[in-house]
Amino acid sequence: MNYYKETHVRTMTAILTAATVLAGFALQACAESRTVAADGKTAYSIYLDAKAPKSVHRAAIEVQRVVEKASGVKLPVVNAPASPMICLGLNDSSRAAGADKDIPEYGFRIATKGQDIFILGEDTPDGQEKWTSDARQGTLLGAFDFLEKVVNVRWLLPGDLGEDVPKTDKLVVADLDVTETPSIKYRWLFSIKDERHDVGVWKARNKVDVRARGAGVNWSHSFNSYPTVEMRKAHPEILAVTKSGAPVRMGPGHVMYCLSQPILYDLYAQCINEAFDKAPKLYSMSMSPDEGVDFCQCPACAKLTTTVPKKWKDLGVNIPQHTEAVLRFYNEVAKRVRAKHPDRVLGAFIYQAYLVPLDKPIRMEPNIVFGVAMNTNYGFKLFQPQRREIFQKFFDEWGKYGAQMGYYSHDTWMRNWFGLPLPPGISLLKWNFPMFKRNNVQYLSYVGLDAWGYAAAHNYLVAKLMWKADADVDALYNEFLTRAYGPEAAPLVARIYELIDEKFQAYIQSKPNPDHEIDYAAAKAIYAPIYLEVEKLYLEAHGKAKTDAQQARLEMLGDNLVHGHFNLWKAKLLTDEQAKNSPFFKSTDDLEDFIAEKEKGLSIISVSRWLKQYSHDNYYSMPVLRPGWRPN
C-alpha cells in the first residue's frame, strides 16, 4: 500500500472541499472581508493595553513578525485602539465589542467585529500565577492559532529552519468566530532536547505547556525522599519486612514501607504539608512508591496482596499485585493533606506492582491525580492488537475510581542509541489520543523522541493531538511531510517511514513480551533487511527537495542514516562492501567527530548526555550495536 498516496488523495479532497465552502462563504460575505495587508501596505495596527501581561506583548511581537514575513508588511504595535485593528487581550475595546463573552479558562477566542479582529483568552497578570509555571496565556495561544489559520504558518520543528511561512501579496481575513479549548488540560511533551531554548519556543507555538522544573503534577517515585531518614530511624516500624519479619533489602533510591502502618500516613502527610507550607506556589507532590524494591509482606500487608486475575493476565504486569495496599495508602495520605491544603493535588502512580484494578472499585480522594504508567506499553508494544484491547478495558476500569486521570506515555518511544530511525507510529497516535479523550485524561506527560532528524513528524503530531485529540492524523501527517520536504520528496520520505513501520509492527507482533530497546535483535529484524533501500529512497528524496530549507530538514534525517549505517556495519548486519560503497559510510574516527559535532544540534540524539545516564562497557567512546550489547 502506498500510504502517502492514498491518504494524500483523501486529505487533498477534504482540503479542496473546505476551500470551496470557504470560497463560497467569502463571496457571500465579501463586504465583511478584511484586507490586513496588500501590495506592501496596511491600514491595520496591532493594539494591546500597555499594562497587559508579558504573554500578550509576546503575542503582539509574534503576530507582527509572522505577518511581515508572509506579506512584507510590518503592522505597527500600538497602545491606543483605532479601527481597523487586531486587538489582543481582554481590554475595554474587546469588552465593548462583546468579544469577551464565554472566554474559556484554558483556551481562547478569535472573533471579527466589523473590520476589527479580536484575539483573546484568559491571561494571568505577570507574577500572579497561583502555581509555578501555570500562568494562563490564552491570548498568546489564540495568536499562534490565528497565525496558523489565517497566515498559514507552520512550526514544523524548532528554530528558524522549522518555521514555514508561505509568501503572499495579499492577506485577507474572512469572518471568524472561533472558541477553542484543549482536549487535554495539561500537556507536557518532554525528552525532546527540552534544555534548548528553541525547543521551548517550538512547544509554546504548538500549544504545548512549557513546564518549569517542579511544575505540574509530580508522579515520581518518592518513597526514597519521604518520610525523612530521621523519621525512619525514629519509627523503624514503618519499614517494609519480609514474611519472616526480616527487613526488606533496600538501597539508595529504593525504599519501601509497611503500607499498613497508620503512623506512616501521618509522617508522609506531614512531609508533604511541610513542603507545601514552604512553597506556596507548588501545585503538586508525589506519593508514589519506589520501584526496584520488594513490597512489605507483614501479615497485614500480605492480606492485601493478590495474584493477577485471568482477565488481566495479558497486561504483562508484576506478580503479585499490591493495588489495595497502595490505594489505601494514597487515600489516607490524601485525606490528611487535603485537610490542610485543599487546593493542592497529589500525584499517584498506577504502576507495575499496583497496576491491576480491584474487583470492586473504591472511591479515591478528590485531590488525587492518577498517573497511569504502563511499562507493558512502552516502546510501540501497542502495535499488538491484544494489548490495545486490554489497555482500553483497563483504562475504563480505572475511570470508576473518581480520581483525576493522568497518563505517563512511552507508547511511541523506544530507547535508541544507534541512529536507526524510529517510525512516527501513525496507527498508534490514531488510537491512543481518541482513547485519552474518551477517558477524560486531563494530565498527559508524553515522552517524545529527541533525534529531531527522524522525530520531527512524530513530535509535531503529538503536539497537535495534545490540543485536539480527535484531529485528522493523516491530514496532519501529510501536510507535515509536504511542508517540511516539498511535494515531490514527501512521498519518498513517507515510504521510508512506511518501510520501517511495517518491519516494526511485524517485529513487535512476533514477540509475546518485546523490549523497549533497540538492540541487536531488533536491528537485525527491522533495519538490516531494508536499510539500503531506505538510503536509496533518501537520496532520491534529497534530489527532489527544491528549497534550501527542505534540503536542510531532510539532511537532518540523513545525519541519523549515517549514524545508523555505522552501527549496522559494526554489528556485521551490513557487509564491508555494502557499508563502504555507501555515501553514508564513515570510519570509526570520522564517526566520532561527526557525532561530536552533530549532537550539538537537533538532528541526532545527545550521545554524551545518554552516557551520563547509563553506564556501559567502553567499546569506544560511544555505544556500538553488536550482539549481546545492552546498557548496564
What are the pLDDT digits (tens) for 192-239? 999 999 999 999 999 999 876 656 889 999 999 999 999 999 999 999
The pTM of this model reads: 0.91
Average pLDDT score over the chain: 91
Q: What is the pLDDT of residue 212?
A: 66
Average confidence (pLDDT) over 444-473: 97
138-146 helix and 54-71 helix, angle to the nearest 10 degrees? 10
- The pLDDT of residue 398 is 92
Task: Please state, for a pLDDT cut of 90, what percent of the chain lies above it.
Answer: 81
Average pLDDT over residues 99-117: 94
How high is the pLDDT of residue 19?
A: 40
Are 45 and 4 contained in the same domain? Answer: no
Q: Which helix (H) or strand (E) holds 481?
A: helix 473-485
CA distances from 403 to 77, 386, 400, 414, 476 (A): 46, 26, 8, 29, 33
Residue 377 lies in a domain: no
pLDDT band for position 311 (cuts 50, 70, 90): confident
- Per DSSP, the three-state class of 58 is helix
When comparing pLDDT for 86 and 16, which is higher?
86
Note whether residue 97 is domain-resident: yes
Q: Would you state the pLDDT for residue 528? A: 97
Contacts 24+ apart (CB under 8 A), 61-66: 62/140, 62/143, 62/144, 62/147, 62/205, 63/88, 63/119, 63/143, 63/146, 63/147, 66/147, 66/151, 66/153, 66/165
Residues 26 and 133 in one domain: no
Whether 63 and 176 map to the same domain: the answer is: yes
Indicate whether 486 pLDDT > 50.
Answer: yes
Range of the domain at 69: 33-181
Same-domain pairing of 5 and 95: no
End position of a domain, from candidates 181, 208, 241: 181
Averaging pLDDT over each range in 241-255, 313-327, 600-614, which range is the top one?
Answer: 241-255
pLDDT score for 129: 87
Indicate the pLDDT class of residue 123, thresholds 50, 70 and 90: very high
pLDDT of 47: 98
Kindly report, residue by residue over 138-163, the tens digit of the pLDDT.
999 999 999 999 999 999 999 999 99
Residue of 615 and 207 predicted with greater confidence: 207
Looking at residues 173-201, what average pLDDT do you find? 95
Instruction: For residues 106 and 160, state if they share a domain.
Output: yes
C-alpha to C-alpha distance for 123 and 256, rounded to whole angstroms: 43
Q: Is 580 a member of any domain?
A: no
490-515 average pLDDT score: 96
Which one-letter amino acid corresponds to residue 387? R
Residue 616 has pLDDT above 70, yes or no: no
Per-residue pLDDT tens digits for 590-611: 998 999 999 999 999 988 776 6
Residues 91-101: pLDDT tens digits? Answer: 999 999 999 98
CATH (domain of 77): 3.30.379.10
* Average pLDDT rounded to a whole number, residues 264-288: 96
Poorest-confidence range of 29-43, 112-126, 338-352, 530-544?
A: 29-43
Are 3 and 68 in the same domain? no
Statement to judge: residues 124 and 145 lie in one domain: yes
pLDDT score of 4: 61
Residue 140 lies in a domain: yes
* Whether residue 427 has pLDDT greater than 70: yes
Give residue 375's pLDDT: 83
pLDDT at 8 over 70: no
pLDDT of 469 higher than 50? yes
Within-domain flag for 124? yes
Quote the pLDDT of residue 55: 97
Looking at residue 617, its pLDDT comes to 44
Task: Kindly state whether residues 62 and 93 are assigned to the same domain.
Answer: yes
Q: Are residues 54 and 163 in the same domain?
A: yes
Among 145, 162, 181, the domain boundary falls at 181
Residues 116 and 138 in one domain: yes
> Any idea which of 9-18, 120-129, 396-405 has the lowest mean pLDDT?
9-18
- Is 267 domain-assigned? no
154 and 21, same structural domain? no
Of 181, 204, 230, the one marking the end of a domain is: 181
20 and 48 inside one domain: no
Assess whether pLDDT exceeds 70 at residue 387. yes
- Residue 275 pLDDT: 97
Q: Which three cell numbers stand for residue 519?
A: 538492540
pLDDT, mean of residues 49-78: 98
Quote the pLDDT of residue 27.
33
* Residue 23: per-residue pLDDT: 36
Q: How many domains does the chain have?
A: 2
Domain membership of residue 506 (yes or no) is: no
Contact call for residues 535 and 565 (beta carbons, < 8 A): yes
Q: Which residues contact 23 (CB under 8 A, 6 or more apart)?
A: none
Determine, yes or no, domain membership for 20. Answer: yes
Least confident of 24-33, 40-49, 346-355, 430-439: 24-33
With 80 as the cut, is the pLDDT of residue 10 above it?
A: no
249 pLDDT band, cuts 50/70/90, is very high
pLDDT at 513: 87
In DSSP notation, 577-627 reads HHHHTSTT---HHHHHHHHHHHTTSSSS--HHHHHHH-----SSSS----T
pLDDT bucket at 135, cuts 50 / 70 / 90? confident
